[in-house]
Structure 1
């Protein structure tokens, strides 16, 4: 007797989510919803407190952050790296509250957002081109996606959460922002949406080893750099457009800017290493605008082939 294997459908509610093992997560979800309706002044203060706690107790993440900053910004003093490292954690916590606002109180962003370079997306779509929006893992999280959605219809490539209830929550909240959510393993779906002319946010800025990439300089240091987007662009005939968003101004009354750059020329080329190097240069240039609004606590240089010194 054969049985059909269970297939989890993203965003769907299952009665098993009411079992006791999920009760603490439900409580956390309700707490997050309450935090989302707090005034920004209180959210900002809570972010500061939580950032200090994380900086003190998440020693591994703190160490990784400082190592990354040392590698990428060697001109900084030890004192500046420490100060900027703490700010990374602070921006991460602010980003969590900004994401909650995007999910539950999106009107908070009204009159706070400006955009530069929207014509690059508009022109490409008018020509029927699909677009890979080459972005980064920003501490703004889904707040960045929301502010982009005020000007065009973005889709996103995502990695499912390990906890199915949390995945359902995130998927449903993101459904109010993104036109499509495409599993990072669903290459067929990604290509299909690109061929349909979608603008899809894709972040090629993490270390997934050399099975999916090459060693290319990132801030002058060799780093495993993914190259899957080259194949996506080639198969779908889409174009790559750099996208960056960041917070600026007075933190008590912040503003947000979306920066869209021209199509990256001749991508993909015949040189995989050159393409990876160019992409890393674009990302590095973006990150210098607001250095602490990047997830530096990820081990960007964890892959070290023979002959390369360990970073961490």
Structure 2
């Protein structure tokens, strides 16, 4: 396993110096291969799309599924240059757009801020683009990988630029709030199914989905505003859109806030459905009495 991993990581370091069209072309080829051979994961994608887009035709959903596997492969290979190419190359491929005031505050602000970063395939590119532009403490919650070599590679890559503080998911809420209360930035990705513990069931495209209410709770307890960050893979790299802060968030009702988060996330997804992380079993945890969907 270690030899295979070392060869894979070595390949990524070499690929970092290849022209972007070559990297993307290789990713497109691998994506089509994955869509064909990764049958269990393809079934997960197909079920997710059928649940979330019942109004779309089977042909439309198949097209989204094929594209999403291409984006899986391309975004993974892009980590080669994100984490190993010269800084100038990385910066030239990452375009930060959107709300100028919020972009400025991310870079130079002094108040606590939560960046709501949904699981689009460009999430690592977005984190890199923003940490390159600020020396504010940038906190992120991380689930350690089983493979220690891959774990070290990911941690090093994500912490390559800026002042990145990696928080272990198992350490709980205390270090997260400490970071916010020191006027830091929290890069938060709460839109996955992490099981039944400490979660609530709220609609996601009309389907009850186990969701951690952390965005609401961290915002309220840390007295931090929420700024959405939406990443989009483009032919020349990535566009990272910083949206205006949510003015009506949080409330005193974490469940209602979490439902609102999912509703707004749906609006972001609808602009580019194939770039969302459909390979995740978003509905694996079901409310009591409901049968499994996968």
TM-score (normalizing by structure 2)? 0.89
1:155 aligns with 2:139: yes
User: Which residue in 2 is equivalent to 1:236?
Assistant: 222
CA contact (8 A) 1:124 1:130 kept: no
In the alignment, the residues of structure 1 paired with residue 148 and residue 107 of structure 2 have an alpha-carbon distance, to the nearest angstrom, of 35
Which structure 2 residues correspond to residues 235-254 of structure 1 after superposition, within 5 A? 235-248=221-234, 251=235, 254=236
Matched, 1:195 2:175: no
Confirm whether residue 181 of structure 1 aligns to residue 195 of structure 2. Answer: no
Query: How many angstroms apart in 2 are the aligned matches of 1:28 and 1:124?
Result: 34
Q: Of the candidates 129, 135, 139, which is equivalent to residue 117 of structure 2?
A: 135
Q: List runs of 5+ in structure 1 lacking aligned partners.
A: 1-20
Provide the aligned C-alpha RMSD in A. Answer: 2.2
Q: Is the Cα–Cα contact under 8 Å of residues 49 and 278 in structure 2 kept in the other structure?
A: yes
The 5-angstrom pairing of residues 1-312 of structure 1 reads 22-105=2-85, 106=87, 107-110=89-92, 113-120=95-102, 122-123=104-105, 128-153=110-135, 154-177=138-161, 179=163, 180-186=165-171, 187-248=173-234, 251=235, 254-312=236-294
Q: Report the CA distance between 1:41 and its aligned residue.
A: 2.3
Shift of 1:127: 7.0
Q: Aligned pairs, how many?
A: 288
Distance 2:101 2:255 in 1: 29
Q: Structure 2 CA distance, aligned partners of 1:64 and 1:85?
A: 10
The question of whether the paired residues in 2 share the 8 Å contact of 1:157 and 1:182 is answered with yes
